[in-house]
Amino acid sequence: MSKKLALITGASSGIGKSFAEQLAEEGYNLILVARRKQKLEDLAEKLSKKFSTESQIVVADLSELEQIKNVVDIINSLDSIDILINNAGFGLSSGFAEGNAERQLDMVKVHVLASFSLCRAVIPVMLKRNEGLVINVSSISGLMIKYGDVTYTATKSFLIVLSEALQEELRKTDIRIHALCPGMTYSEFHDTEDLENFDRSSVPKGLWMSSSEVVRKSLKAARKGKTVYVPGFLNRVSLFFSNIALIRKISQWFIERKN
């Protein structure tokens, strides 16, 4: 592959697919990683016909440690890589105590262990050329200290802290680390068995964004050097008031204890 190269996990749908489409349009060759082989093959064929780009597909379930290692081995075999996008992920609808412990651990492996491992593999490769971009797809939930999906919030918070710490360590290089923190996004994310009871109509239409818009804004912000980024004005407003409300609750708690 002589063109610039990007590796994208969770590439078969939603935000991952939009990253693949927009980077292919920019002329990147791609390594597309996801669980669903047919969707990867269909996407690779589409991108080849439309943008004359080459795509290597890697069928992998990143909740499996051996399959994480397989993707790490692919990165280690590369002479160079320009962009890594850690996008693979999923949500759960049950609470922490009553939820399925195995699925919660799967989430930790996909969101945390896989992303950490791929970052750890790719940074030395990027350092050889002193350039590159890593995008860790987190969530606005990772910036909200709240009750709710504990495992999802905690793992997405990890990706934000990982990105900030990595960027600080790499501040004297031309490698950029970007934590994308989208809000509600139209994709297949909410169409899984884990979220079968989710009702899209329960969220105001104004808070939804398309995957392509999220990705377009993310790439623009990442290339400007933005480390933690929340796309969408309404999402940023929601985040502000959510955290203000929490500060008020904490303040009230201290006042009541003092009195």
Distance of alpha carbon 175 from alpha carbon 169, whole angstroms? 10
Write down the residue that tokens 């884990």 correspond to: 194
Question: How would residue 250 be classed by pLDDT, with cut points 50, 70 and 90?
Answer: very low
Whether residue 85 is predicted with pLDDT greater than 90 in this model: the reply is yes
Within 108-149, where are the H helices?
115-127
Question: How would residue 1 be classed by pLDDT, with cut points 50, 70 and 90?
Answer: very low
pLDDT, position 224: 95
Contacts of 70 (CB under 8 A, 6+ apart): 58, 60
Q: What is the mean pLDDT of residues 164-191?
A: 85
Identify the domain containing residue 204 by its residue range.
Answer: 5-258
Distance of alpha carbon 195 from alpha carbon 80, whole angstroms? 38
Residues labelled catalytic: 152, 156
State residue 186 phi and psi, 5-degree precision.
-70, 115
**Domain containing 32 — which CATH number?**
3.40.50.720
Distance of alpha carbon 120 from alpha carbon 47, whole angstroms? 29
Residue 214's nearest CA partner among 137, 150, 158, 146 is 137
Mean pLDDT, the chain, rounded, equals 87
Q: Which residues of 116-132 are buried (b: 16+ CB within 10 A; e: fewer)?
A: bbbbebbbebbeeeeeb
Q: 37-41, 112-116, 163-167, 185-189 — which is least confidently predicted?
A: 185-189
Q: What is the mean pLDDT of residues 53-73?
A: 97
State residue 132 phi and psi, 5-degree precision.
150, 170
Domain count, the chain: 1
Paired with 178 in beta bridges are 135
pLDDT, position 196: 52
Q: What single-letter amino acid sits at 9?
A: T
- Alpha-carbon distances, residue 114 vs 106, 133, 189, 228 (angstroms): 10, 17, 18, 20
| 40, two tokens | 């990867």
| 48, two tokens | 């080849």
